[in-house]
Chain A
Amino acid sequence: MSVAGGTAIRIEEDPEPAAQGEIPAFADIVRGHQAMVFGLAYHFLHDRGLAEELAQEVFLELFRQFDRIESPAHLVFWLRKVASRRCIDQIRRRSFWPKLRLDEVPEPAMKTDGRDPMLSRALARLVASLPEKPRMVVILRYQEDLAPAEIAQVLDMPVATVKSHLQRSLDMLRDKLARTVGEIAI
C-alpha cells in the first residue's frame, strides 16, 4: 500500500481510536505527511508558530478519527481538506477583531534548487496576501499539484469558481510581482 510521496505505510482498521499498539504506524503517517500539512499551513498563514500549531491539531484530529479513514488516497484527501478548512477558519478568527498584531517572523530558508530565493520569497509573501479562498486554491494547485476538479472537492467549491480564483490570482500575482521585482517572462 502506498500514499502520495511513495511512503509505504500500514493502516490498521480498528473501531477504537488508535490504541497504544498502533502509535508506531501513526508515527509513520505523521512523518509521511507532515511536509504537506505544514507546508499548506505555512504558505497560507505565513507564520511558522501558527502553522506548526495548526498542523499538530490536524494530526491530532486524524488520530481521533483514524477509524474513518478508508484508504491511503482518502487519508491524503482528508488531510488536505481538514488542513485547508482549519487554515481558512484561523484567518477568519484572526481578522475578526480589530487591532491585529503584525508579527514579523523571519522566514525560514527555502530550498529553491538554484532558482532566485528572493523571487521565491516575494512570491510566497504575495500569495499569503491573497484573499483566503483564492490563496488556498493557489496553494493547493502549486504545492499539491491538484487539478481544478480536485481542488473543488477539497474546498467544497464549484470547479468554475476554482478556475476563476486561479486565473484572477495569477493575473494579480503577475501584476504585483512585476511591480515588485520587474517583469518576468510569462
Chain B
Amino acid sequence: MKMLRILTLCMVVGTAGYGQALDLKHLDKLSEKASETADVTLDGSLLKLAAKFLSADDPDEAKVKKVVAQLKGIYVKSFEFEKEGAYAESDIASIRKQLQSPGWSRIVSVVSKKDGENAEIYLRTGSPEGGVAILCAGAKALTVVNIVGKIDLEELSDLGGKMGVPELEIEKPGEKPKPPKKDD
C-alpha cells in the first residue's frame, strides 16, 4: 500500500466556492498524472448537509461535528505520483503567492530532508471569518487544504492524531525505569 504524502495548499482567490477560498483550479490537471487523487470541495449548503449527517453516537463523527461547527468551507486537493517531478514548482509558487497576500500569516514551516516532505501552515488573520491553509510538498506527493471559517487547530490536530494514525509511544521498548532511592 502506497504511503500517501499529502501536500496541502491553500489559496485565496475569491472565485471558487466561497469568497475567501483559495484558487486551486490549476491543480486539477495533476489528477491525470496522479496514481491517487483526493478532491474535496465542500461549502455552503453541501457542507451543512454533510455536518447534519454526522452522527453524535459515533465518537469520531461527533468530534468532527464539533470541529467543523463554524466552518464555511473546506477544500482539499491531494495527489500521489509514481514518479518525482510530476508537478511544477510554479504550481506551488502560484499558491504561495496567494498566501503571501495581506491577511495571511505563515505560522509554521517545516523543511524535512529526512522524509523529503516540506510543510507550511498559514492562518487567515486578515478576516474575521478566519481560515487555515496547509501546504505539504513531497517528491511524489502534493497536498493542499484550505479551510474557510473558524476552527480549533488543536482539536483538528488531535483528530489527525487519533483517526487512523497511531500516537507516538510514551516509553521506548527496552526502557526499564528503576525505582528511586531516597537520599534524605
| Set B154, B179, B180: member contacting A93, Cβ < 8 A | B154
**Chain B residues near A82 (CB-CB < 8 A):** 170-171
B179 close to A74 (CB less than 8 A):
yes
CB nearest to B171 among chain A residues: A82
The reply to whether the CB of A68 lies closer than 8 angstroms to some CB of chain B is yes
Bits for B153-184, please: 1 = Cβ < 8 Å to A, else 0. Answer: 11001100000000000110000111111111
Distance in angstroms from A57 CB to nearest chain B CB is: 9
A100 close to B154 (CB less than 8 A):
yes
**Chain A residues near B123 (CB-CB < 8 A):** 98-99
The reply to whether the CB of A71 lies closer than 8 angstroms to some CB of chain B is yes
Of the listed stretches A35-43, A121-129, A146-154, chain B binds: A146-154
- Cα A93 to Cα B155 in complex, Å, equals 10
**Chain B residues near A89 (CB-CB < 8 A):** 170
B182 close to A101 (CB less than 8 A):
no
Given A86-B170, A147-B182, A93:B152 Cβ within 8 A: no
CB nearest to A68 among chain B residues: B176
Distance in angstroms from B105 CB to nearest chain A CB is: 9
The reply to whether the CB of A61 lies closer than 8 angstroms to some CB of chain B is yes
CB nearest to A151 among chain B residues: B180
- Cα A46 to Cα B177 in complex, Å, equals 28
- Cα A153 to Cα B179 in complex, Å, equals 8
| Set A86, A99, A153: member contacting B177, Cβ < 8 A | A153
B154 close to A77 (CB less than 8 A):
no
**Chain B residues near A147 (CB-CB < 8 A):** 182-184
* Size category, A interface: 20 to 34
| Set A81, A98, A149: member contacting B153, Cβ < 8 A | A98
A150 close to B182 (CB less than 8 A):
yes
- Cα A82 to Cα B171 in complex, Å, equals 8
The reply to whether the CB of B88 lies closer than 8 angstroms to some CB of chain A is no
A61 close to B177 (CB less than 8 A):
no
The reply to whether the CB of A65 lies closer than 8 angstroms to some CB of chain B is yes
A93 close to B158 (CB less than 8 A):
yes
Bits for A163-185, please: 1 = Cβ < 8 Å to B, else 0. Answer: 00000000000000000000000
The reply to whether the CB of A142 lies closer than 8 angstroms to some CB of chain B is no
**Chain B residues near A154 (CB-CB < 8 A):** 180
- Cα A70 to Cα B178 in complex, Å, equals 9
CB nearest to B174 among chain A residues: A68
* CB neighbors of B among A104-155 (8 A): 147, 149-150, 153-154
- Cα A18 to Cα B154 in complex, Å, equals 33
The reply to whether the CB of B107 lies closer than 8 angstroms to some CB of chain A is yes
**Chain A residues near B157 (CB-CB < 8 A):** 93, 96-97
13 A-B pairs within 8 Å (CB atoms) are namely: A65-B171, A74-B178, A76-B179, A82-B171, A96-B157, A97-B157, A98-B123, A99-B123, A99-B152, A99-B153, A100-B154, A147-B182, A153-B177
Q: Which 8 interchain pairs have the tightest Cβ spacing?
A: A97-B153, A73-B179, A150-B180, A153-B180, A149-B183, A77-B179, A97-B154, A74-B179
